[in-house]
Structure 1
Amino acid sequence: MKVAVVGAGAIGAYVGAALHRAGADVHLLARGPHLAAMRQHGVQVHSPRGDWTARVHATDRAEDIGPVDHVFLGLKANSYAACGPLVEPLLQDHTSVIAAQNGIPWWYFHRHGGPHDGKRIESVDPGGAVSAVLPQERAIGCVVYAATELDGPGVVRHIEGTRFSIGEPDRSVSKRCLEFSEAMQAGGLKCPVEPDLRNDIWIKLLGNISFNPISALTRATMREMCLHDSTRGVIEQMMAETLAVAEALDCRPEISIERRIAGAERVGDHRTSTLQDLEKGKPLELDVLLSAVVELAGISGVEVPTLRTVAAISDLLAQGTAVAA
């Protein structure tokens, strides 16, 4: 099995290193000092489960890799529309694209069934720009429950979690999903094939849609947001509105708001990825986390006043960050 990791940052390099350890033919696509370090020293993984190093082929040229069986996409979702030159040289007829993204994916209504089947979500696929680069029939969904950070170029710190749930848009348990899942498990990761991954998407989104924008607006950590009564109330309302949208779209995430917030509080003084991007002057990945759900609320006829308010304020912050970048 040949795999290319496009965007081999903290999550991508971690997955690539695990697949390499399982015996897969792995290629990492990266750039800058991070690429140079991986070329010289391999991917160094520091983890509570044990430290290890994977000597994986790394390059900044997709042409050097050629066609693969699976593309693991470690890029932020707001980079998808521009990733054509990175992905196109990797594709052959059967190549799948496994997008490890937060939020609502561009393929959400692909083979969904029901009244919205095939509908494009403008917030995540503006003008069809993402679908043009990443055809929906290639997509395998992926919900990441692992937390990693780059401690330095080529050095991945694994904080917690090893689960990467995957699934087909049409809810089938496909051969290509099983192949990738088996390789991930052989590399020491959990990779269940979920018949309806959309439920997992909404469970993960409950936290991202609330904690991520609020953390960027307040500069607060997970624990601080949970312990501040008024902020916690806003987060609870955002989660309740999100669940109402999910249910209107025939999804029933099996988790309570109380349990979701309690889990976030246990994470402690962790800064969300959106806050980290803000501090680094990077574009904020809020379209797929927040704007998409507001759009879906409009489609499904659900009132989401708190989500709309936070989305409006967050959008102004995101515009300022984009200008600064």
Structure 2
Amino acid sequence: MRVAVLGAGAIGAYVGAALHRGGAEVHLVARGAQLAALRERGVRVLSPRGDFTAHPHATGDPEEIGPVDYVFLGLKAQQYAGCGPLLEPLLGRHTAVIAAQNGIPWWYFHGLTGHALEGRRIQAVDPGGAVSGTIPVRRAIGCVVYCSTEIAEPGVIRHLEGTRFSVGEPDGSVSARCVAFSEAMVAGGLKCPVEADLRNDIWIKLLGNVAFNPLSALTRATMVEIAVHPGARRLVGSMMAETLAVARAAGSEPRISIDRRIAGAERVGHHKTSMLQDLEAGKELETDAILGAVVELAELTGVPAPTLRDVHAAVDLLARTTTAMAPAAR
């Protein structure tokens, strides 16, 4: 099995190292200091489950790799539309693209035979068809990441918690390509269940991200600080309740309570969400897939979502002003 990891950052390099350890032929696509470190020293993983080092091939030029069986996207959702030049050399006739993104994916309403919104494009994550034009839905395998990692330094990945990467086809089938990828992940020491209804997993993961990510960016607070603050906790509860209503109106039934989801976030402790980390690093915020798409789905399904709308307006303004200030800061 040949796998290319496009975007070998914290999650991508960790997955690539695990797959390589399990016997897959892995190629990491990275840039800058990360690429230099991967070439020189490989991927060093620091984990409570045991440290290890892997030495997969690393490059900044996908032309060196050529077509593979799977491309694992370690990019942010907002980078998908522009990844075509890097992705194209990796695509063969049967190449599958595993989209390990946060939030609502661009393929969400594809493969839902008989659904009222079957084939509907979600503009927040696929504006004008820019993503579906770059990554055709027939190639897409969904992936929900229950894993937390960070780059301790270039080439060194600190694994904090979780090893589960749920995968599934947009049409709900349990395909041979999903099963084969799952087996390769398991061989590398990760959990990778193939889900017939991945959309439920998407909503369960999103239930936390939709509230804690934007609120952390707006307040600079960690997950536990948000969870233990009475007013913030009520705000989180309102956002989660509205999100569950949107999920149900869109045809999913995620089975998890709001109290349990908040308690789980509180147990994580003083962890900075990915959106807060991006804000502090001066990177573009992943607001559209995590929050904007849910607001759009609320409009499509007629679900009142006043709290989600208000928080989205605030974090969208933060994202716009942060982006506008970035050049001056440099």
Q: TM-score, normalised by structure 2?
A: 0.98
1:18-54 deviations in whole A, cap 9, x for unaligned? 0000110100000001110010100000000010000
Residues 1:206 and 2:214 are matched in the alignment: no
In structure 1, the partner of 2:260 is 259
In structure 2, the partner of 1:22 is 22
1:42-86 deviations in whole A, cap 9, x for unaligned? 000000001000011000000000000000000000101100011
Q: For 2:166, what is the secondary structure of its paired residue?
A: strand
In the aligned structure 2, how far is the partner of 1:48 from the partner of 1:6? 26
In structure 2, the partner of 1:292 is 293
Q: For 2:78, what is the secondary structure of its paired residue?
A: helix
Q: How many pairs does the alignment contain? A: 325
Q: For 1:262, what is the secondary structure of its paired residue?
A: helix
In the aligned structure 2, how far is the partner of 1:91 from the partner of 1:256? 41
In the aligned structure 1, how far is the partner of 2:257 from the partner of 2:216? 21
In structure 2, the partner of 1:35 is 35
In the aligned structure 2, how far is the partner of 1:320 from the partner of 1:185? 43
In structure 1, the partner of 2:102 is 102
Alpha-carbon deviation of 1:249? 1.1
In the aligned structure 2, how far is the partner of 1:279 from the partner of 1:249? 34
In the aligned structure 1, how far is the partner of 2:316 from the partner of 2:24? 41
Q: For 2:68, what is the secondary structure of its paired residue?
A: coil
Alpha-carbon deviation of 1:322? 1.6
In structure 1, the partner of 2:171 is 170
In the aligned structure 2, how far is the partner of 1:25 from the partner of 1:318? 38
Q: Is the 8 A contact 1:290 1:311 kept in 2?
A: yes
In the aligned structure 1, how far is the partner of 2:224 from the partner of 2:250? 31
Alpha-carbon deviation of 1:151? 0.1
Correspondence list, 1:90-169, <5 A: 90-113=90-113, 114-169=115-170
Note the aligned Cα RMSD (angstroms).
0.5
In the aligned structure 1, how far is the partner of 2:51 from the partner of 2:206? 30
Q: Is the 8 A contact 1:106 1:130 kept in 2?
A: yes
In the aligned structure 2, how far is the partner of 1:2 from the partner of 1:102? 25
Q: For 2:80, what is the secondary structure of its paired residue?
A: helix
In structure 1, the partner of 2:191 is 190
Residues 1:46 and 2:46 are matched in the alignment: yes
AA at the equivalent of 2:76: K
AA at the equivalent of 2:88: E
In structure 1, the partner of 2:56 is 56
Q: Is the 8 A contact 1:141 1:168 kept in 2?
A: yes
AA at the equivalent of 1:72: F
In structure 1, the partner of 2:307 is 306
In the aligned structure 1, how far is the partner of 2:325 from the partner of 2:156? 28
Residues 1:65 and 2:72 are matched in the alignment: no
Q: Is the 8 A contact 1:281 1:324 kept in 2?
A: no
Alpha-carbon deviation of 1:264? 0.2
Alpha-carbon deviation of 1:320? 1.0
In the aligned structure 2, how far is the partner of 1:324 from the partner of 1:191? 40
Identity value in percent: 69
In structure 1, the partner of 2:89 is 89
In the aligned structure 1, how far is the partner of 2:136 from the partner of 2:176? 19
Correspondence list, 1:270-289, <5 A: 270-289=271-290
In structure 1, the partner of 2:8 is 8
In structure 2, the partner of 1:318 is 319
AA at the equivalent of 2:220: R
Q: TM-score, normalised by structure 1?
A: 0.99
Alpha-carbon deviation of 1:112? 1.5
Q: For 1:145, what is the secondary structure of its paired residue?
A: strand
In the aligned structure 1, how far is the partner of 2:47 from the partner of 2:94? 34
In the aligned structure 1, how far is the partner of 2:110 from the partner of 2:168? 13
Displaced runs of 4 or more, over 4 A: none
AA at the equivalent of 1:322: T
AA at the equivalent of 1:49: R
AA at the equivalent of 2:241: A
Which consecutive unaligned segments of at least 5 residues does structure 1 have? none
AA at the equivalent of 2:178: C
Alpha-carbon deviation of 1:324? 2.5
In the aligned structure 2, how far is the partner of 1:140 from the partner of 1:324? 36
Alpha-carbon deviation of 1:250? 1.4
Q: For 2:149, what is the secondary structure of its paired residue?
A: strand
